Amino acid sequence: MLELEGRVALVAGAGSVGPGWSNGRATAVLLARRGAAVYALDRDAASLEETRAIVAAEGGRCETRVADMTSATQVESAVAVCRELFGRIDVLVNNVGGSAPGDPIQMSEQVWDAQMEHNLKTAFLGCKYVLPVMLAQGGGNIVNLSSVAALRMGRDRVHVAYSASKAGIIALTKSVALAHARNGIRCNVVIPGLMHTPLVEHRLARTVAGGDAAALIAQRDAMVPMGHMGDAWDVANCVVFLASDEAKYITAAEIVVDGGLTAAGM
């Protein structure tokens, strides 16, 4: 089940903002555990090396490249190197993003543009340069990462650009899926909810909780109908399923991984 032996997976955003399991790191490691050769990209060389070392220690293959996914030149070059190394790209995981708070009045035009580049343009560029490879080889799978912020809005912490860009990921996914449904290429989107990843302790605790990580974790746990946040492995398992042959008839789909959060309307 969910075997990916002989496949090549390009994972964008395979590092982590702090020690532990980010969505990208867990996804890269799980793809390798299922037999895929992994080509991991991130802006943070040290964090990327941690991911590579984990895969290598488990007997898998993981090649890395430092790349800024907002740069067309760097993405094009990274994809070309991946094809040279492995001869093909079977799976593309677009997992780059981050949020900045503000409504249209508070947010500067520069922050808006940066959010669109970071959260939406990165996925567009990944698709732009990997799709020709997949077309040439007769198929492939793309999994994009969005957020429940695209589906539900909060009054306490408005992040208009993040919500808009992550909603754009859903639209991008469906457009790509329909454009290439007859080319053997599937494209789906995973929509994580409140996840307990290193982002919580190493960024959100500082930016939204005054440094009180324990209070932030308790608050986020209480918001979820299941009573706790998910973790990176919940996201990774969903990504690997969509990349596998078990999902061969699934394309243009949204899979929400949120413990019931969006259904509760909170």
Annotated active-site positions, please?
162
How would DSSP label each residue in 143-181? EEE--GGGT---SSS-BHHHHHHHHHHHHHHHHHHHHTG
Q: Residue 190 and residue 34: Cα distance in Å, rounded?
A: 19
Contact 119, 169 (CB under 8 A): yes
Q: By three-state DSSP, how is residue 13 classified? A: coil
Quote the strand ranges of the chain, DSSP E.
8-12, 37-42, 62-66, 91-94, 140-145, 185-192, 254-257
| Beta-carbon count within 10 A of 45 CB | 11
Label the pairing between strands 254-257 and 91-94.
Answer: unpaired
Residue 211's CB is within 10 A of a number of other CB atoms, namely 9
First-last CA distance in the chain? 35
What is the rounded distance in angstroms from the CA atom of residue 12 to the CA atom of residue 243? Answer: 15
